[in-house]
């Protein structure tokens, strides 16, 4: 099957959409499909490449930079001037690239590739062009909505009264993409319940909740190579609270840091390991310095590749205080490693963390509750082991192999229905 995966956000950016899009492309390629990824260029120029690890083709569409996610991409080629003038470092160091008018490039690429099906991941400019192409050329289209309006408005400073109508408008916009597809998926039951109209009068496209999934074998529980401890300056003998992900304001890591300040008063030898990077790192470092616990907080910086599963195994408990998770990939990976979790009761997190079973759920911004939960897990080995086993049990249904199998079934269903529809249309035209 010839499959196009289209997305406005892609690797090397690190978030749920980018990670899932790459995992999906890799998994489908391993299963023998011919996969092409369409995404905005990280240099600004149209270019194509092959994923070195998995072998599928990635076409990068011409793009312009936006002042979003300024610290997301590291060491990528960039034009460092504008109209002959040097630009401030922040403008060209990193950031989110957007393809504003990609129709012609998409038409040229897809006319050559001739896809059987397109699987869209985002409701941005690339998706708009994909919708137009699919409609004109009668190509089967599946859409996945990874966005959750509440999560997005949490990331910007808005009056509380303004958030509800803005969320409603954004949700209607996201749903409009799904409605124009042949089949739609969302990552969690929470998104399905909160965002999709129940009445078939407004939503007639087949839709289901389907976990993004992860490779459970990659993040299996196991021993840590001693070199990992040395390389990242992690003490293997200390009880370890672990966070992995972006270090940006919407992740509410100030809550975690303040909770850790309270934790180390009760568990003096505890350490906090933060794996990732972002705009909030300097603030967190200053918080640790002010509390005189800098020697107990480890910042590894951004880590990808083979070291990542090893770093999960260094933890005793995983902490995630973000209020903006549609489905947290890092939480799935932590559970696959057998880690108990302390998390915020927000978004779809309660679908993964069952309070008192594989971790604890706390109210958003409740520093005391987060600290108490972390202390409880760190001080009780039997509880920690029981929660670990429960995490391993709960994560089984999130194996990406199931996700890939179900996605293949959806593709075949959509293609069969598309063929039947076209055959019926041709017959009716012949009768006329």
Please tell me the distance from the alpha carbon of residue 413 to that of residue 423, in angstroms, as a whole number.
15
Structural domain boundaries of the chain?
A: 2-213+400-431, 226-397
- Residue 10: which of 50, 37, 29, 47 has the closest Cα? 37
Q: Ramachandran region of residue 288, left (φ > 0), alpha (ψ -120 to 50) or beta?
A: alpha
Please, which residues have CB within 8 angstroms of residue 190's CB and are 6 or more apart in sequence?
347, 348, 350, 351
CATH annotation of 226-397: 3.40.50.2000
User: pTM (2 decimals)?
Assistant: 0.82
Closest CA to 388 of 312, 326, 285, 293: 312
pLDDT digits (tens, 9 = 90+) for 343-378: 999 878 999 999 999 999 999 999 999 999 999 999
Same fold, 2-213+400-431 and 226-397: yes
pLDDT of residue 160: 66
Query: Tokens standing for 42?
Result: 């990280």
pLDDT in tens, 206-234: 999 999 999 998 998 888 988 999 999 99
Question: In 3D, which of 317, 321, 185, 298 has the Cα closest to residue 250?
Answer: 321
Cβ(77)–Cβ(97) under 8 Å? no
Q: Which CATH number fits domain 2-213+400-431: 1.20.1560.10, 3.30.230.10, 3.40.50.2000, 3.90.1640.30?
A: 3.40.50.2000
At residue 49, φ and ψ (nearest 5 deg) are -155, 170
The two three-digit tokens of residue 416, written as one number: 């069969």
For residue 156, what pLDDT band results from cuts at 50, 70 and 90? low
Cα–Cα dist 46/61, whole Å? 5
Q: Which helix (H) or strand (E) holds 48?
A: strand 47-50
pLDDT, residue 43, reads 84
14-23 pLDDT per residue, tens: 778 888 999 9
At 401, list the tokens.
């192999």
| Helices (H), ranges, 64-124 | 89-93, 103-113
Looking at the DSSP bridge assignments, the partners of residue 246 are none
Q: Nearest 5°: phi and psi at 268?
A: -60, -30
Closest CA to 327 of 382, 398, 265, 389: 398
| pLDDT tens digits, one per residue of 176-200 | 888 899 999 999 888 888 777 766 6
Average confidence (pLDDT) over 325-352: 91
Between residues 43 and 262, the one the model is more confident about: 262
DSSP 214: B
Q: Which residues pair with 40 in a beta bridge?
A: 61
């Amino acid at each position: 099957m010839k499959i196009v995966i289209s997305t406005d956000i892609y690797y090397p950016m690190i978030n749920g959409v980018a990670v899932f899009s790459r995992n999906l492309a890799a998994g489908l390629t391993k299963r023998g499909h011919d996969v092409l990824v369409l995404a905005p260029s990280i240099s600004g120029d149209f270019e194509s490449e092959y994923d070195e690890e998995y072998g599928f083709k990635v076409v990068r569409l011409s793009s312009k930079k936006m002042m979003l996610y300024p610290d997301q991409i590291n060491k990528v080629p960039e034009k460092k001037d504008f109209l002959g003038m040097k630009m401030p470092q922040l403008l060209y160091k990193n950031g989110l690239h957007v393809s504003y008018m990609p129709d012609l490039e998409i038409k040229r690429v897809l006319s050559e590739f001739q896809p059987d099906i397109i699987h869209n991941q985002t409701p941005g400019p690339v998706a708009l062009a994909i919708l137009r192409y699919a409609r004109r050329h009668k190509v089967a289209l599946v859409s996945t909505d990874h966005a959750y309006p509440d999560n997005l408005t949490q990331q910007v400073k808005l009056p509380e009264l303004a958030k509800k109508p803005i969320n409603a408008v954004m949700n209607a916009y996201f749903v409009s993409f799904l409605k124009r597809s042949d089949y739609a998926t969302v990552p969690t039951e929470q998104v399905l319940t909160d965002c999709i109209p129940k009445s078939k009068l407004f939503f007639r496209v087949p839709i289901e909740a389907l976990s993004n999934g992860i490779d459970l074998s990659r993040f299996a529980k196991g021993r840590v190579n001693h070199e990992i401890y040395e390389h990242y300056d992690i003490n293997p003998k200390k009880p370890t609270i672990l966070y992995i992900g972006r270090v940006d304001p919407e992740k509410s890591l100030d809550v975690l840091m303040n909770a850790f300040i309270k934790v180390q008063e009760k568990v003096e030898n505890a350490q906090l390991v933060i794996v990732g990077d972002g705009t909030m790192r300097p603030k967190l470092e200053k918080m640790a310095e002010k509390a005189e616990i800098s020697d107990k907080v480890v910042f590894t910086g951004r880590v990808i590749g083979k070291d990542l599963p090893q770093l999960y195994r260094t933890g005793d408990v995983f902490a995630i205080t973000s209020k903006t998770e549609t489905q947290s990939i890092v939480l799935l990976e932590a559970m696959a490693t057998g880690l108990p979790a302390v998390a915020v009761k927000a978004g779809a997190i309660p679908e993964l963390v069952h309070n008192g079973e594989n971790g604890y759920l706390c109210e958003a911004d409740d520093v005391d509750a987060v600290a108490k939960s972390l202390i409880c897990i760190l001080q009780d080995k039997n509880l920690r082991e029981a929660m670990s086993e429960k995490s391993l049990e709960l994560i089984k249904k999130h194996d990406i192999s199931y996700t890939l199998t179900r996605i293949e079934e959806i593709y075949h269903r959509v293609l069969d229905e598309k063929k039947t529809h076209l055959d019926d249309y041709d017959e009716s035209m012949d009768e006329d």
